Homo-oligomer: A and B are copies of this chain.
Amino acid sequence: MTDTQANAGIHMANGFDPSSGVELDPASAALLERRDRVLGPSYRLFYREPVAIESAQGVWLRGLDGREYLDAYNNVPAIGHSHPAVTAAVSAQLAKLNTHTRYLAEPIVSYSERLLAKFPDALDRVTYACTGSEAIDLAIRTARYQTGKQGFIISEHAYHGTTVAAAGLSPSLGPNNPLGEHVVTIPSIDTARTPADEVAPKLLASVEAAIAQLNESGAGVAGVILDSILSSDGVQSDPTGFLAPVVDAVHRAGGLYIADEVQPGFGRTGTWWGFERHGIVPDLVILGKPMGNGVPISALVGSAAAQEAFGSQVRYFNTFGGNPVSIAAATAVLDVIERDGLVDHAASVGGELLAGLRELGSRFDSVIDVRGAGLFLAVEFGADDEERTPDADLATRVVNGMREEGILISASGPAAAALKIRPPLPFTSANGAQLLETLERVLTREAR
Interface residues of A (CB under 8 A from B): 9-10, 12, 15, 28, 31-32, 34-35, 37-46, 50-56, 61, 64, 74, 76-77, 81-82, 84, 86-87, 90-91, 94-106, 108-109, 112-113, 116, 124-127, 129-134, 137-138, 140-141, 162-167, 173-174, 176-177, 288-289, 293-296, 300, 302, 304, 307-308, 310-321, 323, 325-326
State how many angstroms separate the Cβ of A394 from the closest Cβ of chain B.
22
Partner of A162, one of B35, B50, B108, B318: B318
- Separation of A125 and B40 alpha carbons in the complex (Å): 5
Partner of A101, one of B43, B95, B105, B166: B43
- A314 B95 Cβ-Cβ under 8 A: no
Name the residue of chain B whose CB is nearest to the CB of A45.
B102
- Separation of A137 and B99 alpha carbons in the complex (Å): 24
Number of this chain's copies in the assembly equals: 2
- State the main secondary structure of chain A at its contact with B: mixed
State how many angstroms separate the Cβ of A143 from the closest Cβ of chain B.
11
A38 with B104, Cβ < 8 A, contacts A90-B90, A163-B134, A320-B130 known = no
- A125 B315 Cβ-Cβ under 8 A: no
- A164 B140 Cβ-Cβ under 8 A: yes
Residues of B within 8 A of A61 (CB): 99, 103
- A126 B39 Cβ-Cβ under 8 A: yes
A42 with B310, Cβ < 8 A, contacts A12-B315, A113-B34, A163-B165 known = yes
Extra A-B contacts (10), CB below 8 Å, given A42-B310, A295-B325: A34-B109, A35-B109, A52-B104, A82-B96, A87-B95, A98-B295, A99-B294, A129-B131, A138-B162, A173-B315
Partner of A103, one of B12, B53, B95: B53
